[in-house]
């Protein structure tokens, strides 16, 4: 299966949203290192989403 830049941005956005929701109220017994790892994962997802959104705009001939 292959996704367009626009589809990738959309799917990454959904994953980032899910991780943000989890991070708003993580389980109380989770180690801080696991929570910090999820914060890094969120940052990576958000950066990738922006990169794919920019590429999608280029695909459409729009300024990003």
Whole-structure pTM value = 0.88
Q: Which residues contact 23 (CB under 8 A, 6 or more apart)?
A: 35, 38, 39, 42
Q: Return the pLDDT at 64.
A: 55
Q: Could you tell me the sign of the dihedral formed by the alpha carbons of 39, 63, 1, 21, in that order?
A: positive
Q: Could you tell me the sign of the dihedral formed by the alpha carbons of 54, 10, 2, 50, in that order?
A: positive
Quote the CA–CA distance of 27 and 63 in Å, as a whole number.
Answer: 41
Give the model confidence (pLDDT) of 3-47 as tens digits. Answer: 999 999 999 999 999 999 999 999 999 999 999 999 999 999 999
Q: Return the pLDDT at 47.
A: 98
User: pLDDT band at residue 58, thresholds of 50, 70 and 90?
Assistant: very high
């Amino acid at each position: 299966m292959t996704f367009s830049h626009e589809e990738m941005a959309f799917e990454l956005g959904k994953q980032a949203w899910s991780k943000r929701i989890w991070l708003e109220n993580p389980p109380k017994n989770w180690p801080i290192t696991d929570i910090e790892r999820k914060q890094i994962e969120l940052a990576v997802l958000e950066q990738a989403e922006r990169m794919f959104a920019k590429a999608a705009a280029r695909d459409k001939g729009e300024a990003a």
